Structure 1
């Protein structure tokens, strides 16, 4: 039974291109399934989270991260009486736009695309699901519902806001062009909050990476359990495991402690949301969208504790010397590949040539048009394919 403030499938605002209703699946279940079967989703298997994809079999990739986010999103959404299928769909799509080499690749492409309308992985995810996936007879993209598109665009907060979201911008003109293009096709109400389900996907993302980056950093030897025991929340979790299971072998001790950290985060989010929903009494999904700030979030004490954990991870993991060296190496690859394809678009795969020719013939701003096509190609690369292309086209020893 869904709560009145959940997104009801029967009330969906529909799709850009009309389709018959599925006999067995709700609109949001259909969105979820299309995302799972997309080419972009499969490519997440070979895109990095923190470590470059080939560095070890046990480190998270974008795909394993996405699956973990979707699992957490379903758990939180179910506990709150929200639409679990929509929360899962947004969670599964939230990283589709990530380029090779994770945030390192995103930073490089952001700089390269600055003269041409910018780059942002959430905006690129929208471009993928509305344009770049080309499998269906009647439309480009996946023809997802408005609610799923809105969730991809705004799960981190309003896209146009002076005080909220990771995409805060004072005016629509400053948004990445890929987001503006989709909003021009279909008003995503960028100045409002997203649905509660999309907010759940965003918090689930935080829970997942706070948890698994600790696991991966330990496995990589960038810090130790003793280091983590100095941090809030984590120290208490290790102490509880030691009290309940004295002498537990190290790998089991690590797992038991870090799964408790996971539990602390999820339980906190659910408790905060239940209290806020009980106090504010929203009666429809649009009541959630019109609120002043998110309804799904961490408590203030836990948020401060997580800031301390993130600060530790930033210093000891994301900016660890070995990671920085690799960041510099792969940044050089992106910075070499992008201008090469700009100068010689004939090097793009043959099945891209017709699109390039048609776009350049149609648009007046040829350089900008070409840059956006090259971006689509480079951003779609996996880590291993980007390395292979760099070695094939630029430096065999790279």
Structure 2
């Protein structure tokens, strides 16, 4: 008797057919691989290149919300990215766009984050004013198209991982230059204020940007980038609460004790127009989820399982609502590249916001965390100043080579910023100790 076939590969093959040779093109043409095993698709190769990138490995030692050294349970940037990738892949497959593209974009979405998360991004944005600023998403594009070592063009210039046009587009959350960026407002998922304008490309990376955006008019994000962005929002809204519960900072059975201060935080950080009654109704809806806990978390295996079931149910609730709304709006249209948009119901967006507010109020406003963030900002500012003073003597060999090729002070500053952004939390502390600790000032806390 013939075994039933898994329909997923057939579905993926059908989806792949919706993408053109333009979508699969690479900036530097590569010869076919001579392998015995079945050929991988271009989008599968993109995913593999991001998985094996040095920048991906470094995410394991970069702050998500709480530092990776604070606890062996909490998320770091790598585990967060893996979770975002899983959500993005499942949602993309359900919607009909390519799961490999969405997953790769999710795996890559935080590659450009410097040490200490958005806190570090704020420091580098200020330090890099003379060379065009700093933004984590623009830095991600720089890594993928220049800094990661994989492919060189005919002139000997690095083109990074040489990803396909469709994948690079999906990795671009903000497809515009700094000059076109809207003013920042609100806060990041880790609680730090949005002080950095959000943009997706530095001026000296515009040629690569223009190449993969060539068939696209305007600043519209492709649907795969929208899937990645929603998956990120869903993952950190749910998982930051989970981390806070396990860390003993959040008790989901006792949220009423924090009202209405919780709603004040939600309005200050995320939803200024939301009323107490509206937010209370949304929380009541979340509490109606069958796996919402009825007893405080106590660290037992049964309690851990209950918490994991809740996170799974919440992710399914949010993605299911978006899937239904999007497919209903699309009709017969296939959501590929710039055909169609993700539809996030207002109620679902507010449910995600309330969860983010719970973590913000009970975790991110803690006094000990605020003090640590100030010490981290001081450390990175001093590192940039010292590396700028030392030049290539303080840089890794690849960045020292970039320094030597730089034509002016602005280009040299960009090299320093690239170096500092590449560091993990731990290596930033170590480099500060080596280069800056002889200066008579207090050593920043670890």
Relative to the length of structure 1, the TM-score reads 0.84
Change beyond 3 A, Cα 1:239–1:376 = closer
Larger RCO of the pair (alpha carbons < 8 Å, separation 6+):
1
SS of corresponding position for 2:351 = helix
Given candidates 394, 397, 415, the residue that maps to 1:373 is 415
Aligned to 1:29: 44
Does 1:309 find its partner at 2:355? yes
Taking the TM superposition and a 5 Å limit, the aligned residue runs for 1:355-370 are 355-359=402-406, 363=407, 366-370=408-412
Aligned to 1:236: 288
Aligned to 1:209: 236
**Residues of 2 paired with 1:73 and 1:203: CA distance?**
8
Once the two structures are superposed, what CA deviation does each residue of 1:255-292 show, in whole Å capped at 9, x if it has no partner?
A: 222322122111111111111112xx43673652xx6x
Kept after mapping to 1: 8 A contact 2:137/2:174:
no
**Residues of 2 paired with 1:200 and 1:73: CA distance?**
6
SS of corresponding position for 1:69 = helix
Once the two structures are superposed, what CA deviation does each residue of 1:226-266 show, in whole Å capped at 9, x if it has no partner?
A: 245773544223666659xxx99433332222322122111
Change beyond 3 A, Cα 1:50–1:234 = same
Aligned to 1:258: 311
**Residues of 2 paired with 1:103 and 1:190: CA distance?**
30
Does 1:285 find its partner at 2:340? no
Aligned to 2:167: 148
**Residues of 2 paired with 1:116 and 1:7: CA distance?**
40
Kept after mapping to 1: 8 A contact 2:26/2:163:
yes
Relative to the length of structure 2, the TM-score reads 0.76
Aligned to 1:269: 322
**Residues of 2 paired with 1:51 and 1:228: CA distance?**
21
Taking the TM superposition and a 5 Å limit, the aligned residue runs for 1:124-143 are 124-136=139-151, 139-143=158-162
Change beyond 3 A, Cα 1:85–1:70 = same
Answer 1 or 2: which has greater helix percent: 1
Give how far 1:55 is off. 1.2
Aligned to 2:121: 106
Aligned to 2:401: 354
Change beyond 3 A, Cα 1:218–1:393 = same
Taking the TM superposition and a 5 Å limit, the aligned residue runs for 1:42-61 are 42-61=57-76
**Residues of 2 paired with 1:339 and 1:242: CA distance?**
52
Does 1:195 find its partner at 2:222? yes
Does 1:328 find its partner at 2:368? no
SS of corresponding position for 2:289 = helix
SS of corresponding position for 1:52 = coil
Kept after mapping to 2: 8 A contact 1:86/1:148:
yes
Change beyond 3 A, Cα 1:161–1:122 = closer
Once the two structures are superposed, what CA deviation does each residue of 1:175-231 show, in whole Å capped at 9, x if it has no partner?
A: 643653532555454724233222211111111111110111122222212245773
Once the two structures are superposed, what CA deviation does each residue of 1:56-84 show, in whole Å capped at 9, x if it has no partner?
A: 11110111011101101111111112211
Aligned to 2:428: 386
Aligned to 1:169: none
Change beyond 3 A, Cα 1:285–1:78 = closer
**Residues of 2 paired with 1:14 and 1:174: CA distance?**
21
Change beyond 3 A, Cα 1:13–1:258 = closer
Task: Provide structure 1 residue ranges, at least 5 long, that are not aligned to the other structure.
Answer: 167-171
Give how far 1:117 is off. 0.3
Give how far 1:392 is off. 1.9
SS of corresponding position for 2:96 = coil
Give how far 1:349 is off. 2.9
Does 1:183 find its partner at 2:209? yes
Kept after mapping to 1: 8 A contact 2:174/2:199:
no
Task: Provide structure 2 residue ranges, at least 5 long, that are not aligned to the other structure.
Answer: 1-10, 187-197, 257-279
Give how far 1:7 is off. 5.0
More displaced, 14-23 or 232-241? Answer: 232-241
Once the two structures are superposed, what CA deviation does each residue of 1:359-397 show, in whole Å capped at 9, x if it has no partner?
A: 2xxx2xx22111100011000001110011112222374
